[in-house]
Amino acid sequence: MIFNQQIECLSPGPLKDIQSQRLCGTVNYIYKNSRVFQKKLAQAEVSCQQIKTIDDIVHLPFTVKDDLRESYPFGIFSAPMNNIRELHISSGTTGNPIVVGYAKEDIDLWADVIARSLCCAGVVPGDMIQIAYGYGLFTGGLGLHYGSQLLGLTVIPCSSGQTNRQLKIMQDFKPKVLACTPSYAIYMAETAVELAIDPKQSSWKIGIFGAEPWSEAMRQEIEKRWDMDAIDIYGLSEIIGPGVACECHCKDGLHVPSDVFYPEVIDPKTLKTLEQGARGELVVTTLTKVGMPLIRYRTRDIVTINYEKCACGRTSPRISKVLGRTDDMIVVRGINVFPTQIEEVLLKINGTEPHYQIIVDRQKGMDQLEILVELSESSFSDEVRKLQSFEHRIAKAIESVLSIGVKVRLVEPKSIERSEGKSKRVIDKRSL
Amino acid sequence: MKITQISVFLENKKGRLYDAMRLLGEKGIDIKTLSIADNEDFGVLRMIVDRPEESLELLKANHFVASLTDIVAVEVGDHPGGLAKVLKVLDENRINIEYMYAFVEKCADKAILVFRFDDLDKAIAALTKNNIRVVGQKDIVNL
């Protein structure tokens, strides 16, 4: 089923007209309402009159994460606060987190793009969905919730965790759809086996997985273990949360609802727009948002784009799975982790060197974060107990910043491999 | 009456103890005794050597984290109840032992134990008062 047949299968000409009209509207709107964008447009010497069609988008300046951080908490919003209905927070590199404000229209938009995504994945009204994404400030849970309600599903808002209960609910209620991070799907399969539940007999037939990068190999693993269709959903809080793109049953790229989220792929160095098929950074412009519209937002995610009509009938452009990042961000259990966050913590603790290495591994389907820290002269003790409590103290400090559990291991000075004097910060052992 | 111990941080990986030993061996440094305290990730090597300062310089120059610590070496009768007698004195004087280990070599019929106390001076005073011999740096070097 296609949720919005008219829009999702629109031929390129009329689609372009809609995009052009909406882009002009958005540019005028943000110029009128957001000081941040007034300044940005002035600096780029762009006037609203210059933007006539969607092709003129290349004249607009980019928006980056720092623009949001510098205007913390609400400075980049275009709508007045009394029109903001909901706030979400995404983890940032250092300092202020990213705050995202949704007006009533944005919540409706969110539900709409999620409903489109669910239909893309093969879900139909009347199906039952178990949402095991975290509910709360994280956009995963509520985003899927709103869209499922709009589509007319029976929602089980489990949130994440409590795996035994998740499995019991699956066995007793027999939901057809599961939504969670791909690593949690693997973890639940492991737990099921331990509990003598055969994952292949599960009621879940469609999995909507996202919030962290995962590979084709991981898809095959999940599909084999659970005997389900594993569908990739993409999103980022700054744009709306999940629902920025989603695969259809063809599993040949993620459909972007380009009538509302206009995608571009650019060369992150030259900033020039790239041709279909070339790897580059995904840049997204929101065309209808009210609370916090963004123009040409640089996602830092590396993808390719395909404008060909899909076998499913949709004409919307498709992006590849995320192939990498332009920065050194890693996503662990759905949480964004930047090495600089860890560095900041270490610099604040006396007795550690800012030489560290982050090792990400996946054990039993769960991401594990181990941080190697070079021990300095001043914090050395000949008592193992004191060294252990030092490790513990570092781990607690890092956990309070990242909000996820880490293991800290002290290592000898100069033992972390360096190239050109710089340590290699992240070793990702996960077979994504 | 205190003795200088050298402590070295060793990551739990192949060849690190050998690396440290090789360095000391090449310089002709005599290791009188040693012990290793460890957990799953790392170990702390504690040694009594004939030239602690020189050993420290050498290890540091080779990127080891090392430090010098004062410890107390105590002569203990090498017979049943020998250690108990020493521990009784410590217990009565409320002195905590952080860690302890033994010397391989002996003085006549006495064993020598190395102690790290929370309060070294108090420990030395209590032991001496109870006629328990505290061994000095010179005695150790001449073992």
pLDDT in tens, chain A (432 residues): 999 999 999 999 999 999 999 999 999 999 999 999 999 999 999 999 999 999 999 999 999 999 998 999 999 999 999 999 999 998 654 567 899 999 999 999 999 999 999 999 999 999 999 999 999 998 999 999 999 999 999 999 999 889 999 999 999 999 999 999 887 898 899 889 989 999 999 999 999 999 877 878 789 889 999 999 999 999 999 999 999 999 999 999 999 999 999 999 999 989 999 999 999 999 999 999 999 999 999 999 999 999 999 999 999 999 999 887 887 788 888 788 878 788 778 878 877 766 788 999 888 778 889 999 988 888 899 999 999 999 999 999 999 888 888 999 999 887 877 654 445 688 888 865
Q: Where are the beta strands (DSSP E) in A241-351?
A: 241-247, 254-255, 261-266, 280-286, 297-303, 305-306, 318-319, 324-325, 330-332, 335-337
**Do B67 and A382 count as a contact with CB atoms less than 8 A apart?**
yes
In angstroms, the CA A370 to CA A360 distance is 6
- Cβ-Cβ contacts under 8 Å, B63 against chain A: 412-415
- Cβ-Cβ contacts under 8 Å, A383 against chain B: 37, 44, 98-99, 116
CA distance A428 to chain B (A): 20
The residue whose two tokens read 């050298």 is B6
**For residue B5, what is the nearest residue in chain A, using CA coordinates?**
A382
Closest-CA residue to A53 (of A18, A10, A11): A18
Residues 6+ apart with CB under 8 A from A406: A369, A370, A371, A395, A398, A399
CA distance B103 to chain A (A): 18
In angstroms, the CA A279 to CA A267 distance is 8
A106: helix, coil or strand?
A: helix
**B-interface mutation test, from A352, A373, A382, most B Cβ less than 10 A away:** A382
Q: Centre a 10 Å sphere on the Cβ of residue A20 and count the other Cβ atoms it contains.
A: 18
- Residue A305 region, left (φ>0) first, then alpha (ψ -120 to 50), else beta? beta
Window 275-294 of A, Cβ < 8 Å to B: none
Q: Using a CB–CB cutoff of 8 Å, tell me whether B69 touches chain A.
A: yes
**For residue B60, what is the nearest residue in chain A, using CA coordinates?**
A377
Residue-level pLDDT at A432 = 58
Angle, nearest 10°, between helix axes A12-33 and A35-43? Answer: 110
A340: helix, coil or strand?
A: helix
Q: Using a CB–CB cutoff of 8 Å, tell me whether A359 touches chain B.
A: no
Residue-level pLDDT at B107 = 65
Tokens at B90, concatenated = 């410590």
In angstroms, the CA A110 to CA A104 distance is 10
Q: Using a CB–CB cutoff of 8 Å, tell me whether A384 touches chain B.
A: yes
CA distance B117 to chain A (A): 12
- Residue A155 region, left (φ>0) first, then alpha (ψ -120 to 50), else beta? beta
β-bridge partners, A363:
A366
**Do A412 and B11 count as a contact with CB atoms less than 8 A apart?**
yes
CA distance B125 to chain A (A): 24
Residue-level pLDDT at A421 = 45
CA distance B5 to chain A (A): 10
In angstroms, the CA B73 to CA A362 distance is 48
Interface size between A and B, measured as CB pairs under 8 A: 53
- Cβ-Cβ contacts under 8 Å, A376 against chain B: 65
On whether the CB atoms of residues B72 and B95 are closer than 8 A, the answer is no
Window 91-120 of B, Cβ < 8 Å to A: 98-99, 116
**For residue B71, what is the nearest residue in chain A, using CA coordinates?**
A382
Torsion of CA A101, A104, A106, A110, to 10 degrees: 110
- Cβ-Cβ contacts under 8 Å, B43 against chain A: 384
On whether the CB atoms of residues A301 and A118 are closer than 8 A, the answer is no
Q: Do the interacting molecules here have an ipTM over 0.90?
A: no
| Mean pLDDT of the B36-43 span | 90
Q: Using a CB–CB cutoff of 8 Å, tell me whether B11 touches chain A.
A: yes
Residue-level pLDDT at A424 = 67
The residue whose two tokens read 């937002």 is A297
Q: For residue range B50-77, list pLDDT tens digits in order.
A: 999 999 999 999 989 999 999 999 988 8
Q: Centre a 10 Å sphere on the Cβ of residue B62 and count the other Cβ atoms it contains.
A: 13
Closest-CA residue to B11 (of B47, B63, B58, B88): B63
Give the burial string for B42-59 (b: 16+ CB within 10 Å, else e).
bbbbbbbbbbbeebbebb
CA distance A349 to chain B (A): 18
